[in-house]
Amino acid sequence: MLRRLRSLIPTSPLPWHWHARFYRALLAAILVLAAVGAVVSVLVQRGSDESPAAAPGGLEASPDNSKALKALKALTPEQKADAVVAAGIDPSSAERTVSKAQLGGIVIGPDDWAAGGASLVKRLRAAGGSGGRVPPLVIGLQEGGVYRAYPDLPPAETQLDIGLGGDPQAARGWNESTAKALKAAGFDVNLGPLADVAGPASPIADRSFSDDPALASALVGAAVKGCKSTGLACAVPHFPGLGAASDDTDVNPATVSLDPASLGARDLAAFRAAFDAGAPATVLSLAFYTAYDPVTPAALSPEIATGLLRGELGFKGLAISDDLSAGSIAAGLGAPEAAVQAISAGTDLVVVDDPVLARQARAAILAAAKEGTVSEQRLDEAAARVLELKKKLGLLP
């Protein structure tokens, strides 16, 4: 543009009034060009400002999640607090509970199954979805062998049994048959298979596929694909890896003392394989991790629940806490306060298997949201991710 303007400047001698007339015209041209440039700049900026608005919770509005976002906007603050809790049940009052509270999920434990089995699950599903409401996710705890919560359903083999064979196709079939049986019984989600890499000295040694990261990754990825093919959602525990824990978090506080490089090479590989295979959810551990946050359990730690899981690994699915009724939490904060910290940290759905503590956790989350301890954006984001999984599973009315 400047080169073109220079070409218009006269080089031959001309009368002074010609020069004055020329420079007045030139000045006018420059002012016009400046005005045009300003208008173009404003239009460009306006175009960028008018890009599609962010949906509640910072989620981008799109046709794929419009149904979940519509459901989110219809929720009251009380219902949002309910939506981020997966509660254990008392079989004698469970139907009344799920018909009153629009829970994110209900957890079916071994005692619940023994009390009513598949008929209980189906009654709870009907009660939870009555009146056009969003029903809870029905969450199972089925691992394998002696770790089956529902002994009359597969699999008869433990993960270690499958791991000893070292065959990814066997792992896929093992978990596919499990998922089919759970789906037929009315479940939506199973908290398994474990993506932990655990050796013989680990508290979860015989619950994982292998202590070899490469083999564990191959088997976990195959098992997730088997589950995905059935329409059941498998959530892989216990992010970012519980294999090297000092104790069993169900009973006592525990620490994983690996440095970041060791944890990444040893433990995170199997989670990456699970996510690459399409795992829609993961379960966050309740251990302490010296590599990231030595004083806060993983599910309650922003460094892990948001920084590591979302930032470094890029996981887009549902983040679920391990059971906040566990001994490791009871020895410290207690379930209600832990639930508030977990949601604030980036966990989307908190599991509280004790029904009394679950009610207290819901009340604590609601109070924290009203006080601003949990931001409206964070609660919306968590509830939206729960609703998005429900949408994918066909649970939104």
Contact 104, 386 (CB under 8 A): yes
Regarding the domain with residue range 67-392, which homologous superfamily does it belong to in the CATH classification?
Answer: Glycoside hydrolase, family 3, N-terminal domain (3.20.20.300)
| Residue spans of the chain under pLDDT 50 | 1-54, 57-58, 61, 63
**Region for 314 from its dihedrals, namely left if φ exceeds 0, alpha if ψ lies in -120 to 50, beta otherwise:** left
- Confidence (pLDDT) at 56: 53
